[in-house]
Amino acid sequence: MATGKCIYCSKKFEGRADKKYCSDSCRTNYSNELKTKENEEIRSIRLSLRKNRNILKKLIGKKDDQIIPKETLEHNGFLFDYHTHFFTSELQKNVFTFCYDYGYRDIGNKKFKIIRRWGGGH
């Protein structure tokens, strides 16, 4: 009989060498904790994306687009690593980075252009 160590409770047990858990309840608990960790990770990414979206929404105000200094985004705590998708404008082929329905683009000189998702016609 080989002995193993439960990866959930660390208890030593006898059994097949490829067995990972000492009991079914340890198996269940382990997989539940993994799911919880995954959900926490997803939740924290979603919060970052929503934060970015709200910053863009606030900065664009009631306009269709707005040009702002990069440091304004930074001062607001904008997280440049988090975005949902890219969008290329039809006419000028400019690539905008989006956080849900608000996008932005580095236009040089430490300035960024913020746009709202096109409702058509642009």
Q: Which amino acid, 119?
A: G
Which residues, at least 6 apart from 67, have a Cβ–Cβ distance to it below 8 Å?
A: 107, 111, 112, 113, 114
User: Could you tell me the smallest distance in angstroms from the CB atom of residue 6 to Zn ion?
Assistant: 3
Contact between residue 61 and residue 80 where contact means Cβ atoms under 8 Å apart? no
Number of alpha carbons in the 13 Å side-chain half-sphere of residue 30: 13
User: Could you tell me the smallest distance in angstroms from the CB atom of residue 23 to Zn ion?
Assistant: 5
As a whole number of angstroms, the distance between CA 96 and CA 115 comes to: 8
Nearer to Zn ion, 26 or 55 (CB): 26
Nearer to Zn ion, 15 or 69 (CB): 15
Nearer to Zn ion, 1 or 91 (CB): 1
Query: Contact between 4 and Zn ion (CB under 5 A)?
Result: no
As a whole number of angstroms, the distance between CA 68 and CA 48 comes to: 21
User: Could you tell me the smallest distance in angstroms from the CB atom of residue 8 to Zn ion?
Assistant: 5
Residues 6-45 that bind Zn ion (CB under 5 A): 6, 8-9, 11, 22, 26
**Interface positions with Zn ion (CB under 5 A):** 6, 8-9, 11, 22, 26
